[in-house]
Amino acid sequence: LRAVEKDEKLEKAIVNVRNLVVANEKRLVNGDNEEVASLFSELFDSVRGSDKLPWFFTQKISRIENCLNACSDLEKSYFYRFTRFISRELYHQKIGDITRETPTGVASLWNSTFQERAEALDVLFDLSILHVEDAGSGLAVRFSRGENGLVNFREGDICIVYPREGEKDTVLNQQILKGSIAAITPNEVVVRFRYKQKNRRYFDENRLWAIEHDALDSSCTSMYKGLFAFMEAPKQKRDLLLGLKAPRTLTESYPISKDRAFLMEKTSPSTFTESHPMENEEMPYPENIIAAARRAKDYFLIVGPPGTGKTSIFARRLIETYHAEPETNIMVLAYTNRAVDELCEAIHAGLGNSNGECDAYIRVGSELSCAAPYRRRLLQQIAEHADDRQSLLAEIDRTRVFVSTLASINGRMELFALKRFHVAIIDEASQILEPQIIGLLPRFDRFVMIGDHHQLSTIVLQDREQSDTGDPLLQQIGITDCRDSLFERLIRRCLEKEWHHAHVQLTRQGRMHEEIAAFPATRFYPKGLSIVNEWQSGSWSLTTRSEHPLHRLVAKERTAFISTEQLVFSAAHTPNHTEANSLDTSMLNTSVLGTFMATALAKKPRSTKINEVEAEVIARLVQALSEVYEENERPFNGASIGIIAPYRNQIAMIRQKLQQSGLPAAGEIMIETVERFQGSQCDVILMSFCVNVPEQMEYLCNMNREGTVDRKLNVAITRARQQLFLVGNARILRAHPVYALLLDHYRDKTVIPETPFEPFNHHGG
């Protein structure tokens, strides 16, 4: 820093540049393709013939101009439309000019008050520093949480930290530090910072601190870069990815060994065949599909409904198969770090040695976002332990499998200068926006995408009206909505053009009991889902001495819906329920009002994102499961139960109720949003819908284009293996057509208690 004399002319020039930047961003967001083309034309004209700009800058601009001049009208439409899409997404992140349940992204810091964010559980405050750890290159601070109770923070969240001694101190007027939550308990929170703070006085001089959520816009920068990388790709690659040319196949076949064929025949029913024209009846499942993927010269798409083994079977077998080719380098990608952890687990199982160690891969990413068993194979760790640059390069050259999230690999593009990757295997492909992946794919000879567009989709702030392409050239090739994943678009294109050799949909699931799978199998997957294990068709019947309705429910029923409608509304406003109900009618009434439940009903809800009645029902269900399982000498542990709720506020409330229950296994239970549950499974799933007002249905659902599948509901239901219990207000839920179908499906398995369930002791009495 240096002192500069006041210069009004310079200040005006700087402000003018700032205003021009904002004006151009508004033109990108609100304009059409012609407006974007005009902006680029103005940019090209501004540098042409200029001798005041640095050479490297004018060369970059000339490169963009030459690239666009060589593109077809269709390719320019593609580039301009997705440039607008990315710009609007970034605009919504920063400005928050969008209808949402709560302010979104960085915009929430000024579109809401501190008190509003605190009531929404989005702030940790009155924190005091316990310890500052600044050894080495990192910086971590451990804070005492004081009186903070329910909060919407968890390990791995990126955050902003700033001093807050009183109400006048805000995130907008204090120096902020950026980092990630490394650990959080009811009493403490540890933050690891992105950059080391050398001025220790900053921590010593401030007594109390606050933590708020942060948002990164680096993903938008990566999408801009990826979009241009695609435009510079060879024409054959551009035509392929735009769907103008059919994907090719190799001529050679890939037989499997007799030993593996014998093994697969023993473990797979011989009667099964995937309903697909490319089936090879002489090759057992799943090797027939692996062989079809290997025959693909350009790409192959695997649609895997829930429980069909997308990662555990197909991603693993593909990695094993390609790794068996000595000259093939493999890039394995996924959208989330959790999925990358599962892919690492699959690699350990397939390529590791007998003691579980595996040096056959390198993982790209950070230590905070990587599960402990795989940290030793992080590129960062390998680099730190390498003797010199040459030994690091030798390790990179030796290793043929690299694993990463899209975000991490986009931050390590120099890898592609060091190594050529022949094939990419992309898991969670239906969650990846087209601009996030389109620039990477031309770097590979071929790729295999694995996903399911009927499960969780891309995460986008724009609605359909804003993301519609509205361009005849793009619509002709099936690009109608910028929110769609490339995976979904290519699937639709293959179906339209009958390129059956390039895709397959799996129909065998080995996760759910058929009673749990019945609704998604019939409503979401027209081809159905067949079972592969004998237990998936077995009956459910446990015994219990308890007369408590929840004990009897979990003992008798494999799955049920508990409607809280009469617990939320007074009897005067409760409609008559004349629908048949095959459950024991004594389950519908309890005589004793639990102390907590009476208090919860009397309270005014602090937020529509919290439902204490549902949280208490969930906690009581967990207790009932524990006691009934123990009574039947059936193994029970917290890790076998998963609880899904749509909001972090409700998750925090459920966690608090479980802690209050005193159940020893409560701390082991996974309680998450449906987004965090994708890819996971549990023996028992409990779901709190937490819909308090009809307006919430718009945000609860994530519908497919045809409006026939709620992707979030599909994922939630299909996480359960043995038992599934749904808790929500059926009166509100029924207003949505998909939920009306769900409630009709559960007509004979619906419990509607008229008064809250009475408490019970830990012996089921």
Average pLDDT in the 63-78 region?
97
- Predicted pLDDT at 33: 97
Q: How confident is the model at residue 138 (pLDDT cuts 50, 70, 90)?
A: confident
3-state secondary structure of 519: helix
Query: Do the beta carbons of residue 24 and residue 87 sit within 8 Å?
Result: no
Whole-number Å distance between alpha carbons of 665 and 662: 9
CA dihedral 231, 236, 242, 245 (to 10 degrees): 170
User: How many other CB atoms are found less than 10 A from the CB of residue 459?
Assistant: 13
pLDDT at residue 300 greater than cutoff 90 = yes
Residue with the bigger pLDDT between 48 and 320: it is 320
Q: How confident is the model at residue 3 (pLDDT cuts 50, 70, 90)?
A: low
Q: What are 26-35's pLDDT values in tens digits?
A: 999 999 999 9
Q: What are 376-435's pLDDT values in tens digits?
A: 999 999 999 999 999 999 999 999 999 999 999 999 999 999 999 999 999 999 999 999
Q: How confident is the model at residue 485 (pLDDT cuts 50, 70, 90)?
A: very high
Query: CB-based contacts of 763: which residues, under 8 Å, 6+ apart?
Result: 627
Angle formed at CA 372 by CA 370 and CA 373, multiple of 5 degrees: 110
- Fold topology of 219-249+296-506: Rossmann fold (3.40.50)
Q: Which of 487, 478, 77 is nearest to 243 (CA)?
A: 478
Q: Among the CATH numbers 3.10.580.10, 3.20.20.70, 3.90.1150.10, 3.40.50.300, which is that of 537-751?
A: 3.40.50.300
Write the CA distances from 62 to 20, 41, 45, 67, 221, integer angstroms.
Answer: 21, 11, 10, 8, 20
Q: What are 644-654's pLDDT values in tens digits?
A: 999 988 998 99
Length of the chain: 765
Q: What are 336-380's pLDDT values in tens digits?
A: 998 999 999 999 999 988 777 899 999 999 887 888 899 999 999
> Of all residues in the chain, what percent carry a pLDDT higher than 90?
65
Query: CB-based contacts of 333: which residues, under 8 Å, 6+ apart?
Result: 403, 404, 405, 406, 409, 424, 425, 426, 427, 440
Q: Which of 136, 152, 137, 134 is nearest to 189 (CA)?
A: 152
DSSP 543-563: --S---HHHHHHHH-SEEEEE
Average pLDDT in the 248-260 region?
58
Whole-number Å distance between alpha carbons of 698 and 313: 35
- Predicted pLDDT at 243: 97
- Predicted pLDDT at 324: 96
Q: How confident is the model at residue 587 (pLDDT cuts 50, 70, 90)?
A: very low
Tokens for 738? Answer: 């998909």
Q: How confident is the model at residue 570 (pLDDT cuts 50, 70, 90)?
A: very low
Whole-number Å distance between alpha carbons of 412 and 132: 30
Domain boundaries, the chain: 8-70, 105-216, 219-249+296-506, 537-751
- Predicted pLDDT at 261: 35
pLDDT at residue 275 greater than cutoff 70 = no
Average pLDDT in the 277-300 region?
82
Average pLDDT in the 632-659 region?
92
Write the CA distances from 608 to 31, 109, 458, 473, integer angstroms.
Answer: 36, 20, 25, 44
What pairing do the DSSP bridges indicate for beta strands 299-303 and 446-451? Answer: parallel
Mean predicted lDDT score pLDDT of the chain:
86
- Predicted pLDDT at 698: 85
Q: What are 718-758's pLDDT values in tens digits?
A: 999 999 999 999 999 999 999 999 999 999 999 998 777 66
Q: What are 79-137's pLDDT values in tens digits?
A: 999 999 999 999 888 887 666 555 556 677 777 888 888 877 889 999 999 999 877 66
Q: How confident is the model at residue 186 (pLDDT cuts 50, 70, 90)?
A: confident
Topology alike, domains 219-249+296-506 and 537-751: yes
- Predicted pLDDT at 714: 97
Task: Assign domain 105-216 to its CATH architecture.
Answer: Beta Barrel (2.40)
Least confident of 289-303, 571-585, 693-707: 571-585
Strands of 667-753 (E only): list them.
670-672, 682-688, 720-728, 750-751
Average pLDDT in the 169-178 region?
90
Query: 447 — phi, psi (to 5°)?
Result: -145, 155
pTM: 0.85
Whole-number Å distance between alpha carbons of 624 and 355: 39
- Predicted pLDDT at 736: 95
- Predicted pLDDT at 761: 52
| Angle, helix 55-69 to helix 33-47, in steps of 10 degrees | 140
Q: What are 461-483's pLDDT values in tens digits?
A: 888 899 999 999 999 999 999 99
DSSP-based helix, strand, coil % in the chain, nearest 5: 45, 15, 40
pLDDT at residue 606 greater than cutoff 90 = no
Average pLDDT in the 691-704 region?
91
- Predicted pLDDT at 51: 80
Whole-number Å distance between alpha carbons of 122 and 110: 14
